Amino acid sequence: MPQPKQAPVFDTKPESIDVPFGESADFECHVTGAQPIHITWSKDGREIRTGGNFSITFVANTAHLRVLRVGKGDSGQYTCQASNEAGKDFCSITYVKPITLPAQPAAKFKCISLSVLFVCLEPPSFVKKPEPLNVLSGANITFTSIIKGSSPLEVKWFRGSVELVPGHRCSITLQDSIAELELFDVDPLQSGDYTCQVSNEAGKISCTTHLFVKGLSRLLFLMLLMLVKMISCIVYLTYVIDLNSTPTKRKEEEEEQPIDILELLKNVDPKEYEKYARMYGITDFRGLLQAFELLKQTQAEESHRLVRYSMTLASLGVTRFL
């Protein structure tokens, strides 16, 4: 009487493993049963075949799946199915998330159900964000952030959209999860928004703060100082020139200027003739009479006033000089 055929059975136990990013992972499951045995692999319920990032073989009752290069998209549940005419059996592999580890040789594992353990990377986050600052021109200031996340962390600082580079005007440090930006001798031109950006393999995050600097910028202060010096020089030169013009010279210049006697008499009360004449240095009273006659000729319409002038001059005894 013929013996009944044996259904396939996976006869090994699963083991947990850690798989680094970029490395290959090999999964082997040993099965017993009547030949021929047909092997299929699936990921999250969908069948996968050799090609792309996968390699599948079945040799000497050993089913083998290789993930050629482990990445984020390879997480999920993998299932190996063995079937023949007598029945079928399953082997499940839970594939979680890769970790960043030093490179290690890829290892082979015999299993029925292989659980692969992956450590999650922590994206960066801010424990303390930098606070806005309001300072006077010429001060040294420091923006401080406390951050966390999986190493290595990279920190960049920006003013507006321009990345800051460490130098004689600023310093950028990251030590023990404390990221700092220090600015030296700030001026109002450096007022504006400052952004701290932190990144690692799991992601990127940023936050923005503000700096306001009060007072004149150094450039503007120097310009004003130069302007004050120029004005001082002009005032000094004007003083020197005026100083060189002595009272004697000024008096001589005034004496050299001709006096319009006609205009003098025209705007002065006749009673004040002698007073104003002496004031302007006129001692020749005959000149006054000549001016009077000229005034009489050019302003005939004021003849009544000329008579009054004549009487006034006569009362002053001016006729003695005729």
Ordered alpha helix ranges (H), the chain: 218-244, 247-256, 261-266, 273-279, 285-298, 303-315
Q: Is residue 301, in this structure, part of any structural domain at all? A: yes
pTM > 0.85: no
Q: Do 162 and 241 reside in the same domain of the chain?
A: no
The DSSP bridge partners found for residue 31 are: 10
DSSP annotation of 231: H
Q: Is residue 139, in this structure, part of any structural domain at all? A: yes
- Concatenated DSSP letters for 104-166? ------B-SSPEEE-PPPPPPEEEEPPPPEEEETT--EEEEEEEE-SSSPEEEEEETTEEP--
Per-residue pLDDT tens for 21-44? 788 888 888 899 999 999 998 888
Q: Do 150 and 94 reside in the same domain of the chain?
A: no
Q: Is residue 116, in this structure, part of any structural domain at all? A: no
One pLDDT digit (tens) per residue for the chain, 322 residues:
567 788 899 887 556 566 777 888 888 888 999 999 999 988 888 898 888 888 999 998 998 888 888 887 777 778 888 999 988 888 877 765 556 555 444 434 333 333 444 445 688 999 999 999 999 988 999 999 999 988 889 999 999 999 999 998 999 999 888 999 999 999 999 999 999 999 988 789 999 999 999 876 566 667 777 877 788 777 767 766 666 655 555 555 555 555 565 566 666 676 776 777 777 666 666 666 666 666 566 655 555 655 665 666 666 665 544 4
Q: Do 236 and 294 reside in the same domain of the chain?
A: no
Print the domain residue range for 226: 216-245
Q: Do 135 and 204 reside in the same domain of the chain?
A: yes
Task: Check if the beta carbon of residue 213 is closer than 8 Å to that of residue 220.
Answer: no
Q: Do 286 and 233 reside in the same domain of the chain?
A: no
